[in-house]
Amino acid sequence: MPSFHIVQTGANDYDEVERQAAEGHRPRHSVPVLARRLAARLHQTEFDGPPASLGDRLRARLVGTPRGWALARSLASRLGRDDVVFCLDADAGIPLAAALKGRRDRPKLVVYLHNIDRPRGRAAVDLLRIGGVVDVFTSCCSSQLEFIRGRLGLGEDRTRLLLQHVDNRFFTPGPPAPGKRRPAIVSVGLEQRDYVTVAAAARDLDVDVWVDAWSPNARKSSRAFPAELPANMSYRRSTSVELVQLYRDADAVVVSMFPNRYAGLTTLVEGLACERPVVASRTVGLADYLEPPDGITPVEPCDPAAMRAAIVQLIERPDEAREQARRGYESVSRRYDFDAYIEMVAAWLESL
């Protein structure tokens, strides 16, 4: 029987995450659920492995972290042909692939790519030559897989698209909060977000614009926000429970993005799961989710006029907006269901 390992950059308290999820305070996280399904051992770079060496610190200037390289060295010395390893990010996966080079009895290695198509990622892929070590690259964006196939000369059998998932037990439809005064536009997230376009699109509309622009994984960019907020636009930082209600209050969920190749997926599928119509920028990173555009009105990035027209149509044609929201909600169970995702990924890893 194979032994499964999940490797991840960071230090997440998944016991606490699962406790909060069980109490209904936050959505489930796929990592501990998948680990339990596979009886896999979870390795996190900030918890596991030996102290980082000087060599680890030097390699981390290219990709990953010193502790990530130390963990990769430790795992490479212990894993063999009966192991299957799923690395959840390139900062964990590339060091492990480099540490396994030349091993004939190496484990099966799967590496999930988030945003490898950037200068440091390209340099790491080129210099470390990991194409022959990683069995399958996977991502939630076809653009990342197209990049790695082209960069390493891989066939399509060496990549796999895993669409973004959502905890659709937590993000669910429901009524708007009592006392809602007028239509509301909700926009959530920080990475690669373009709130300047949202502000310009809705500035003269009789709507409230609520922006929850906080992320543990991204920093605020000055280009993302207008120098002065319109009178109808405000920021907030919601708990997970408050975020569900924020989506339910929305007449439209707007995913406004700068052109990019990877970001914006979480907000999009959460809005669909709450049965709200979504307006989304037509970026390369969202391409897999806009064809077919179930529940989504695509608009060109950084185009306030197009975004305004899409918002106005949803507000002025409520029957059409409800039908669009219904189609989007129905697509969640087909494409983004949390439990189906866990079972599909587990069965695929077992097949390796």
pLDDT at residue number 214: 72
Residue 214 shares a structural domain with residue 344 = no
Is the pLDDT reported for residue 263 higher than 60?
Answer: yes
> If DSSP codes are grouped into helix, strand and coil, which group holds residue 140?
coil
pLDDT in tens, 176-192: 999 899 999 999 999 99
Separation CA 205–CA 77 (nearest Å): 61
Specify whether the CB–CB gap between 254 and 315 falls below 8 A.
no
pLDDT at residue number 218: 52
Evaluate whether residue 171 is within a structural domain: no
End-to-end CA distance of the chain: 12
Evaluate whether residue 174 is within a structural domain: no
Task: Give the DSSP letter string of 161-201.
Answer: E----B-TTTS---PPPTT--S-EEEEE--TTB-HHHHHHH
For the ranges 82-86, 173-177, 211-215, which has the lowest average pLDDT? 211-215
Percent of the chain with pLDDT strictly greater than 70:
98
Q: Vertex 190, ends 185 and 195: CA angle to 5°? A: 45
Residue 124 shares a structural domain with residue 210 = no
pLDDT at residue number 217: 54
Residue 322 shares a structural domain with residue 341 = no
Evaluate whether residue 106 is within a structural domain: yes
Evaluate whether residue 172 is within a structural domain: no
Evaluate whether residue 173 is within a structural domain: no
Q: Determine the distance from the C-alpha atom of residue 128 to the mean position of all C-alpha atoms in its chain, rounded to a whole number.
A: 26
Residue 335 banded pLDDT, cuts 50, 70, 90: very high
Burial of 288 (C-beta count, 10 Å sphere; 0-12/13-18/19+): middle
Specify whether the CB–CB gap between 2 and 84 falls below 8 A.
yes
Residue 313 shares a structural domain with residue 346 = no
Specify whether the CB–CB gap between 168 and 336 falls below 8 A.
yes
Is the pLDDT reported for residue 16 higher than 70?
Answer: yes
User: Residue 332, Cβ neighbours under 10 Å: how many?
Assistant: 23
Token pair 């009524």 is at which residue? 175
Separation CA 210–CA 316 (nearest Å): 19
Task: Give the DSSP letter string of 269-285.
Answer: HHHHHTT--EEEE--ST
Instruction: Tell me the CATH number at 149.
Output: 3.40.50.2000
The arithmetic mean of pLDDT across residues 294-316, rounded, is: 97
Query: Is the preceding omega at residue 292 within 30 degrees of 0, hence cis?
Result: yes
In order of 66, 85, 100, 104, 217, the CA distances from 108 in angstroms are: 24, 6, 10, 11, 29
Residue ranges making up the domain that contains 17: 3-165+337-351
Residue 30 shares a structural domain with residue 157 = yes
Residue 193 shares a structural domain with residue 115 = no
Q: Which residues contact 199 (CB under 8 A, 6 or more apart)?
A: 209, 226, 229, 230, 233
Residue 50 shares a structural domain with residue 138 = yes
The arithmetic mean of pLDDT across residues 315-329, rounded, is: 97
pLDDT at residue number 83: 98
The arithmetic mean of pLDDT across residues 268-276, rounded, is: 98
Determine which helix (DSSP H) or strand (DSSP E) holds 139, and give its type and residue range.
Answer: strand 136-139
The arithmetic mean of pLDDT across residues 294-305, rounded, is: 97
Average pLDDT, the chain: 95
Helices (H), the chain: 14-22, 30-38, 54-59, 66-78, 90-100, 119-128, 142-152, 195-202, 240-248, 265-273, 287-290, 304-316, 318-335, 338-351
pLDDT at residue number 45: 94
- Total domain count, the chain: 2
Is the pLDDT reported for residue 215 higher than 60?
Answer: no
The arithmetic mean of pLDDT across residues 305-327, rounded, is: 98
pLDDT in tens, 18-63: 999 999 999 999 999 999 999 999 999 999 989 999 999 999 999 9
Residue 127 shares a structural domain with residue 255 = no
Evaluate whether residue 281 is within a structural domain: yes
Separation CA 169–CA 350 (nearest Å): 26
- pTM summary value: 0.94
Residue 21 shares a structural domain with residue 71 = yes
The arithmetic mean of pLDDT across residues 106-121, rounded, is: 95
Token pair 């000055």 is at which residue? 222
Separation CA 88–CA 35 (nearest Å): 12
Token pair 């494409």 is at which residue? 335
Separation CA 66–CA 334 (nearest Å): 40
Residue 345 shares a structural domain with residue 315 = no
Residue 273 banded pLDDT, cuts 50, 70, 90: very high
Residue 18 shares a structural domain with residue 161 = yes
Evaluate whether residue 175 is within a structural domain: no
Evaluate whether residue 177 is within a structural domain: no
Residue 126 shares a structural domain with residue 202 = no
Q: Which residues contact 201 (CB under 8 A, 6 or more apart)?
A: 304, 305, 307, 308, 311
Percent of the chain with pLDDT strictly greater than 90:
92
pLDDT at residue number 219: 57
